[in-house]
């Protein structure tokens, strides 16, 4: 047991605190689609892109597809785990359009993806194998100087690991196997925490989701990835887990049957004037706490929600810009769309509801700042469970097998052109 020095404590650079990579050793690189048109905020547009590509003549199909070294219209692939998509060349037999799946596209932006392995350069099949109703994914964000936004996001959806600024972070599943089996934690960590902090209050204070809650509340950005200070005081642990569970509820936005976040009465945002079909600009009027979108208007919108950043990028501006471009049939950067992109269908009603939800989530996350600051202050005054202690207990370093995907195959997966391997 050791105390952090005041100069190092809370800076995120404290070398005595274990890193997230040490505590959750298995991670998956960000998804790499290779072509922007396979994801987007409008599932109807994704279906239209598929139909346009599937019906195109060979030369046009090649152009629309956007070939890369990993994927062309003639590439045969393995099956995407859990999906019924084709494995033969798209050019020969595209098949029916698969139903788009909901994903987390970077922090706080839920979009859609065409789940066909022939269209995705690096789909990270190991992530799809463990995605189920129990799984939660932790995504690290790229950092920007002086950024005060969160270092992590948590989602019940598949995540692509996109980062609005800096190098994309890793994706860390909470469980290594489907069904909430085998937590992705350094072997021995849960036992050590129970032994050292056994008096901590709360429901299941040392369950895997409790550790995830602590990480969400206590993680600090650092040059080599997040550091996660561990207290040697059960009361501090319990307070951090309680705060982390509230943060987790906000990140999940009502997923898994949870409560949808809501601001107190009188502070909930409403549409005061309908949003235009093809909005071009977003403005914030601080005096009236209003988002002005062309002739449309939403209020009240707390300034904290408007100013909420990740990687130095305002989340509301980024979210709106992507949908304004999609409404007009443009690329995500506002430039003329290429590849199999189809014309825009205008502003969707669902997007307005999603915007209201996002405003709510960002405002409520910002409102936890005093509690997060109080936890940070308590950590600076509390003896810590250090990396040296974790090493002495045999928790660190995690064995090499803990950094590799678990063997989770309960059945054969279809290989390229429908072939199955001989076992």
Average pLDDT over residues 84-99: 92
Kindly state the average pLDDT of the residues 90-106.
95
* Residue (of 224, 188, 239, 184) closest to 208 by Cα position: 184
Q: What is the mean pLDDT of residues 130-143?
A: 92
Residue with tokens 């309908």: 274
| Phi, psi dihedrals of residue 243, rounded to the nearest 5° | -65, -45
Average pLDDT score over the chain: 90
For residue 411, what pLDDT is reported?
Answer: 54
Query: Which pLDDT band holds residue 8 (cuts at 50, 70, 90)?
Result: very low
Please name the residue that has the structure tokens 């960002």.
362
Query: In 290-334, which ranges are continuous DSSP H helix?
Result: 303-306, 315-327
**How many C-beta neighbours within 10 Å does residue 317 have?**
13
Of 11-20, 55-64, 176-185, the range with the lowest mean pLDDT is 11-20
Higher pLDDT, 198 or 217: 217
Contact in structure between 130 and 173 (CB atoms under 8 Å): yes
Residues 339-353 have pLDDT tens digits of 555 567 899 999 999
**pLDDT for res 410:** 57
- pLDDT tens sequence across 220-272: 988 888 999 999 999 999 999 999 999 999 999 999 888 899 999 889 999 99
**Other residues' Cβ atoms within 10 Å of the Cβ of residue 351:** 20
User: With 50 as the cut, is the pLDDT of residue 50 above it?
Assistant: yes
Percent share of the chain, pLDDT over 70: 88
Assigned token pair, 297: 């208007």
- Between CA 161 and CA 318 the distance in angstroms is 16
Q: What CA–CA distance (Å, rounded) separates 124 from 160?
A: 9
The pLDDT-based confidence of 129 (bands split at 50, 70, 90) is very high
Confidence band of 422 (pLDDT split at 50, 70, 90): very low
410 vs 196, residue with greater confidence: 196
Residue 312 phi, psi dihedral angles, 5° rounding: 80, 5
User: In this model, does residue 13 exceed pLDDT 70?
Assistant: no
pLDDT value of position 320: 97
**Least reliable range by pLDDT among 13-22, 49-58, 181-190:** 13-22
- Model confidence at 106: pLDDT above 70: yes
CA distance 91 to 69: 16
Q: CB within 8 A of 119, min separation 6: which ones?
A: 33, 35, 38, 71, 90
Q: Quick check: 74 pLDDT over 90?
A: yes
pLDDT score, position 149 = 83
Per-residue pLDDT of 279-298, as tens digits, reads 989 999 999 999 999 999 99
What burial letters (b/e) apply to 81-113, b meaning 16+ CB within 10 Å? Answer: beeebbbbbbbeebeebbebbebbbbbbbbbbb
**What is the C-alpha separation between 365 and 295, in angstroms, rounded?**
29
Mean pLDDT of 58-77: 95
pLDDT (mean) for 201-205: 73
Peptide bond into 268 cis (omega under 30): no
């Amino acid at each position: 047991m050791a105390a952090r020095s005041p100069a190092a404590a809370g800076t995120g650079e404290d070398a005595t605190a274990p890193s997230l990579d040490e505590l959750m050793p298995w991670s998956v690189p960000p998804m790499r689609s290779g072509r922007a048109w396979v994801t987007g905020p409008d599932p109807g547009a994704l279906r239209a892109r598929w139909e346009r590509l599937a019906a195109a003549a060979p030369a046009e199909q090649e152009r629309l597809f956007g070939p890369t070294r990993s994927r062309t219209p003639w590439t045969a692939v393995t099956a995407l785990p859990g999906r019924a998509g084709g494995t033969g060349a798209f050019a020969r037999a595209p098949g029916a359009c698969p139903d788009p799946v909901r994903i987390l596209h970077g922090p706080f932006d839920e979009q859609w993806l065409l789940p066909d392995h022939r269209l995705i350069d690096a789909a990270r099949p190991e992530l799809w194998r463990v995605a189920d109703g129990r799984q939660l994914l932790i995504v690290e964000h790229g950092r920007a100087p002086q950024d005060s936004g969160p270092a992590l996001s948590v989602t019940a959806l598949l995540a692509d690991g996109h980062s609005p600024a800096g190098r994309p972070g890793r994706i860390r599943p909470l469980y290594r196997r489907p069904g909430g089996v085998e937590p992705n934690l350094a072997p021995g960590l849960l036992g050590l925490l129970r032994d050292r902090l056994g008096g901590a209050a709360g429901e299941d204070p040392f369950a895997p989701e409790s550790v995830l809650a602590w990480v969400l509340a206590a993680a600090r950005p650092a040059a080599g990835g997040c550091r996660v200070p561990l207290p040697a005081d059960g009361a501090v642990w319990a307070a951090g887990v309680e705060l982390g569970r509230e943060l987790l509820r906000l990140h999940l936005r009502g997923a898994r049957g949870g409560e949808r976040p809501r601001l107190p009465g009188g502070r909930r945002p409403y549409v005061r004037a309908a949003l235009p079909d093809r909005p071009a600009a977003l403005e914030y009027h601080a005096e009236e706490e209003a988002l002005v979108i062309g002739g449309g208007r939403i209020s009240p919108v707390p300034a904290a929600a408007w100013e909420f950043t990740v990687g130095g990028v305002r989340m509301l501006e980024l979210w709106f810009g992507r949908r304004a471009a999609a409404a007009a049939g443009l690329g995500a950067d506002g430039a003329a769309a290429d590849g199999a992109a189809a014309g825009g269908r205008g502003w969707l009603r669902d997007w307005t509801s999603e915007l209201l939800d996002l405003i709510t989530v960002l405002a409520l996350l910002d409102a936890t700042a005093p509690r997060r600051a109080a936890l940070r202050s308590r950590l600076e005054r509390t003896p810590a469970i250090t990396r040296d202690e974790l090493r002495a207990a045999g928790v660190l370093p995690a064995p090499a097998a803990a950094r590799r995907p678990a063997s989770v195959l309960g059945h054969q997966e279809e290989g390229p052109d429908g072939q199955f391997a001989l076992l």
